[in-house]
């Protein structure tokens, strides 16, 4: 019997690192090692020291290998998928000059507005990058750095995304991929390259940026001796270009190059995200027209406030996260960190509709409803921007794939089910970002399309299939009317 070949897929997210030790042939998940991150900042600030990500990667890989029992000698490849949009600036030795600005740092909202106007408005941006600047995008964070920490901007010898930083630590060479690069605001999905005009607008030297690999599964180097010693892995194993977390989740689901929006996905994590695979480059007005890790496209909409915001409400009420009932007349929009979709970076939470008989459980249920409504309305906007009518029975009947940490929560699943009226599929196995990264690693190590690799691993036999329930239009319309009265622009409204 031939020795087992193992690959490691790394999910470096906002809150933690997970390392999925995976059988390269069967896709069997042998173990998942975990290590936490630290996020600091008050108000709109959200920062992390990139060195913590590297330390967490080392700890997670060690834990995963120990639990799997596979042995380091069996590992043939590794790939990193990371939180999108974060801004990492490095000195000439590859050390961080300052903490990284994370995707959910909203301080660059004024810069987003100014950059949008400087290029001639939203249409000019979407024609080139597929996205309009918002506080989440890396370009707005770079502009904020130039204006608020010019010393660090001037001293920067390299500018990286979070997953680029970690991949470079593994190989000693600087690469990114089209998927994660498409979330920067200086990469053109129209040309498949960095946009020289946008770099000039941002005062960003091209030499500071990594090269762009063909796909996230492209082998961009080998594990260096130094990195191998730090991780306890064999030197010289394949390292893939890697990608952003949403792109990696799509790979993990086996999605890529599908027909237009054949597989809508809703991810419930720190953020709420909706996306789908497409062969056609979308140019949506209020969405992110990202590239996918396999060279196709990944139209996407993202909300800032999802599971963490609802957990905060549960903590304030002294309730367990599943100790919730439908909100009744109460409406709670849990925009605790501002909001990205709709673009309201300075917003705060809104509660209305209280009565003497309103219960704490209803308030928590209202928080779930507000968060789910926001991300489901973003899905409607995604469908419209790509030429589909959400009210069309044929479109509404398409199963919605529910992933992320919230997909394991009873109340999240039932709230999405009730407010969407759609059939749901909850894929088995979990850890889709890490699983997608493992498929990218397998592609780099052995060749082949990573989406096809992941699809061969996924039988779908263990997926949970939930039939539709009658849609709760009373709650849907009640939350929508609160948004309208508050004069809040709602994507796809």
Which sequence positions are flagged as catalytic? 245
SS3 annotation, 241-269: CCEEHHHHHHHHCCCCCCCCCCCCEEEEC
| Distance, CA of 427 to CA of 414 (rounded, Å) | 16
Cβ atoms 404, 302 nearer than 8 A: no
| Distance, CA of 405 to CA of 486 (rounded, Å) | 30
CB atoms < 10 A from the CB of 268, how many?
25
Partner residues linked to 251 by β-bridges: none
Cis preceding-peptide flag for 12 (omega within 30 of 0): no
Ligand-binding site membership of 320 (annotated)? no
| Distance, CA of 406 to CA of 269 (rounded, Å) | 6
Ligand-binding site membership of 15 (annotated)? no
Half-sphere exposure for 447 (CA within 13 Å, toward CB): 0
| Distance, CA of 229 to CA of 472 (rounded, Å) | 55
390-408 residues labelled b (16+ CB within 10 A) or e (exposed): beeeeebebbbbbbbbbbe
Sort strands 29-36 and 47-48 into parallel, antiparallel or unpaired.
unpaired
SS3 38: coil
With the CA atoms of 90, 91, 94 and 97 taken in that order, what torsion angle do they form, in degrees rounded to the nearest 10? -50
Give the residue among 300, 297, 293, 366 at the shortest CA–CA distance from 329: 366
CB atoms < 10 A from the CB of 336, how many?
17
Residues 6+ apart with CB under 8 A from 98: 89, 149, 152
Please classify residue 154 by burial: count the beta carbons closer than 10 Å to its beta carbon, then call 0-12 exposed, 13-18 middle and 19+ buried. Answer: exposed
Binding residues for substrate: 84-85
Numbered residues of the known binding site? 84-85
């Amino acid at each position: 019997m031939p020795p087992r070949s193992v690959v490691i897929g790394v999910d470096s997210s906002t809150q933690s690192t997970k390392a999925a030790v995976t059988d390269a042939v069967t896709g069997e998940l042998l173990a998942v090692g975990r290590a936490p991150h630290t996020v600091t900042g008050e108000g709109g600030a959200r920062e992390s020291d990139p060195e913590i990500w590297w330390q967490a990667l080392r700890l997670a890989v060690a834990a995963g290998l120990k639990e799997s029992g596979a042995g380091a000698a069996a590992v043939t490849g590794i790939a990193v998928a990371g939180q999108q949009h974060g801004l990492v600036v490095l000195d000439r030795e590859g050390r961080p000059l300052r903490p990284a600005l994370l995707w959910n740092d909203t301080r660059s909202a004024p810069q987003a507005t100014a950059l949008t106007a400087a290029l001639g408005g939203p249409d000019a941006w979407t024609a080139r990058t597929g996205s309009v600047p918002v506080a989440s995008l890396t370009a707005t964070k770079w502009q904020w750095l130039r204006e608020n920490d010019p010393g660090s901007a001037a001293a920067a010898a390299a500018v990286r995304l979070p997953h680029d930083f970690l991949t470079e630590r593994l190989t000693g060479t600087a690469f990114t991929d089209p998927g994660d690069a498409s979330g920067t605001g200086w990469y053109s999905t129209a040309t498949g390259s960095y946009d020289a005009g946008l770099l000039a607008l941002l005062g960003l030297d091209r030499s500071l940026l990594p090269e762009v690999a063909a796909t996230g599964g492209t082998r961009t180097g080998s594990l260096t001796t130094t990195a191998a010693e730090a991780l306890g892995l064999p030197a010289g194993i394949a390292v893939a270009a890697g990608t952003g977390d949403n792109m990696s989740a799509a790979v993990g689901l086996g999605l890529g190059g599908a027909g237009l929006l054949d597989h809508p996905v809703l991810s419930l994590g720190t953020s709420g995200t909706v996306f789908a695979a497409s062969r056609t480059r979308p140019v949506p007005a209020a969405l992110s027209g990202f590239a996918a890790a396999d060279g196709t496209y990944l139209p996407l909409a993202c909300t800032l406030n999802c599971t963490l915001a609802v957990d905060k409400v549960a903590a304030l009420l002294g309730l367990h996260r599943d100790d919730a009932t439908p909100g009744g007349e109460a409406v709670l929009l849990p925009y605790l960190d501002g909001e990205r979709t709709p673009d309201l970076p300075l917003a705060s939470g809104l509660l209305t509709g209280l009565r003497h008989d309103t219960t704490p459980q209803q308030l928590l249920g209202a928080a779930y409803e507000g968060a789910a409504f926001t991300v489901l309305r973003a899905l409607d906007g995604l469908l419209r921007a790509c030429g589909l009518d959400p009210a069309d029975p044929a479109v509404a009947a398409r199963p919605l794939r529910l992933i992320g940490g919230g997909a394991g929560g009873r109340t999240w699943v039932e709230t999405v089910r009730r407010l969407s009226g759609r059939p749901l599929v909850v894929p088995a196995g979990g850890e889709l970002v890490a699983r997608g990264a493992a498929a990218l690693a397998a592609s780099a190590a052995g060749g082949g399309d990573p989406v096809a690799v992941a699809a061969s691993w996924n039988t779908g036999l263990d997926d949970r299939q939930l039939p539709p329930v009658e849609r709760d239009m009373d709650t849907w319309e009640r939350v929508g009317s609160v948004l309208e009265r508050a004069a809040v622009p709602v994507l796809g409204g």
